[in-house]
């Protein structure tokens, strides 16, 4: 965790690509990280200043901006900036900037800062698809990752002009989430899931009653999306089965949209074939209307609605465990959103559910009073069928996601 005696100190490096304009939103998000007024020092390349002027960066950061190694000579800025920071974020990182960083160049203030700093470094590339997939760029990325630099995969989407493909800057929301995670845990993103196929479910299913109404729940999908984001950043090939979540797709993640529990079931079973782990973060409805009305159910003056008959949805988690059998297969992790009562505590219900489901791990959330749903933070206990118990204190949802990836990675490496 970053030293709490001062606000987080972040160096925001900006490369000279058209996506430099998105750095403006990222600066605002970084200044609000952890609810504190983070000190953000913007260090653009000279080419970045061709896209966004220094005045804009200074207004957003509240600090002077320069890209010149000869500026502020008395303070030795090209050394001091890197020495006195908690995190370096580079967004966008162009192909040229990646190449200069990978061979240890120090020909401007940003690359000099990279050589000096011993703080975590987060890099978000943005470039045309052909440049991203070129062997030289891929070799530079692997070099940086081998040094412990976190290099996100770019997003897929519209690029400059009419082009589209891999190379779009990841959403500033995702970059900020990863930055916040690294400020809490510098070691949160080892590449220990490289080559692993992981399925993550997220969001809340909706069970249709008629063409305009449904039964649903309060899940926003944020925890599942954070889990997909972190797993991908740790090298996994991630399939995200998302139910009714109005959130951007994390970079490097394949998204499969679904609506109901039945759709979630079909998509999860299909994706789980050959997967190394299935992480069931979605809030799947236990029940659905027994009958679907083909036309909107009308409200009659003075009349009372007919009783709503419900039927039980399939238990996807239990089906996955049964389908896996006793011979091993995927690591399976479930979530339990629980509230305590006069009969038992939240922990009691969680342990009972773990035994009943037969999965490897269960993440137990206390959702009393509306906690967790729709909020950016979370606290939970990860209980394992092997008797393990990992308590994760309240913090960003990406922090819980990293703890989940820790236990999953350990289980996979032990096989």
By annotation, the residues acting in catalysis are: 217
CB-hemisphere CA count at 13 Å for 175?
A: 35
User: If residue 353 lies in a helix (H) or strand (E), which one and from where to where?
Assistant: helix 346-357
What is the rounded distance in angstroms from the CA atom of residue 287 to the CA atom of residue 208? 11
* Residue whose pair of structure tokens reads 């009714």 in the numeric block: 244
For residue 141 the two structure tokens come to: 């990325």
Q: Are the beta carbons of 141 and 153 closer than 8 angstroms?
A: no
Q: Which tokens sit at 355?
A: 């035994």
Phi, psi (deg, nearest 5) at residue 29: -70, -40
Q: Which of 259, 287, 252, 270 is nearest to 203 (CA)?
A: 259
**Whose CA is closest to 223, among 404, 34, 398, 409?**
398
Give me the DSSP letters along 60-128: HHSS-----TTTTGGGTHHHHHHHT-SEEEEEEE-HHHHHHHHTT--SSHHHHHHHH--S-EEEEE---
Element (H, E) at 131: helix 129-133
């Amino acid at each position: 965790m970053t030293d709490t005696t001062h606000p987080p100190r972040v160096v925001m490096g900006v490369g000279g690509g058209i996506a430099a304009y998105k750095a403006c939103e990222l600066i605002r998000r970084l200044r609000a990280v952890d609810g504190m007024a983070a000190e953000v020092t913007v260090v653009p390349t000279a080419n970045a200043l061709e896209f966004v002027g220094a005045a804009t960066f200074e207004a957003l950061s509240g600090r002077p901006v320069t890209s010149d190694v000869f500026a502020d000579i008395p303070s030795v800025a090209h050394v001091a900036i890197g020495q006195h920071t908690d995190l370096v974020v580079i967004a966008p990182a162009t192909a040229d900037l990646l190449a200069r960083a990978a061979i240890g160049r120090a020909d401007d203030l940003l690359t000099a800062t990279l050589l000096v700093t011993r703080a975590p470094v987060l890099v978000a590339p943005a470039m045309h698809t052909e440049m991203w997939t070129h062997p030289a760029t891929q070799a530079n990325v692997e070099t940086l990752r081998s040094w412990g630099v976190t290099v996100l995969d770019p997003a897929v989407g519209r690029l400059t002009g009419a082009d589209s493909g891999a190379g779009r800057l990841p959403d500033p929301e995702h970059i900020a989430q990863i930055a916040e995670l690294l400020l809490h845990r510098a070691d949160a993103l080892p590449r220990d899931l490289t080559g692993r196929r992981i399925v993550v479910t997220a969001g809340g299913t909706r069970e249709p009653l008629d063409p305009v109404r449904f039964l649903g729940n309060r899940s926003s999908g944020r925890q599942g999306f954070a889990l997909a984001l972190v797993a991908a950043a740790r090298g996994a090939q991630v399939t995200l089965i998302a139910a009714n979540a109005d959130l951007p797709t994390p970079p490097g993640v394949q998204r499969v949209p679904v609506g109901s529990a039945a759709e979630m079931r079909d998509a999860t079973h299909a994706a789980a074939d050959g997967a190394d782990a299935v992480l069931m973060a979605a809030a799947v409805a236990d029940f659905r209307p027994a009958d679907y009305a083909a036309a909107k159910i009308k409200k009659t003056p003075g009349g009372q609605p007919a009783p709503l008959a419900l039927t039980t949805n399939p238990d996807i988690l239990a089906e996955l465990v049964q389908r896996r059998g006793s011979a091993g297969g995927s690591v399976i992790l479930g979530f339990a959103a629980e509230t305590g009562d006069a009969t038992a505590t939240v922990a009691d219900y969680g342990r009972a559910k773990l035994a009943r489901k037969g999965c490897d791990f269960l993440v137990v959330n206390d959702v009393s009073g509306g906690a967790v749903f729709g909020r950016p933070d979370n606290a939970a206990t990860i209980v394992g069928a092997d008797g393990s118990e990992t308590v994760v204190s309240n913090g960003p949802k990406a922090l819980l996601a990293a703890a989940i990836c820790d236990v999953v990675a350990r289980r996979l490496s032990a096989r």
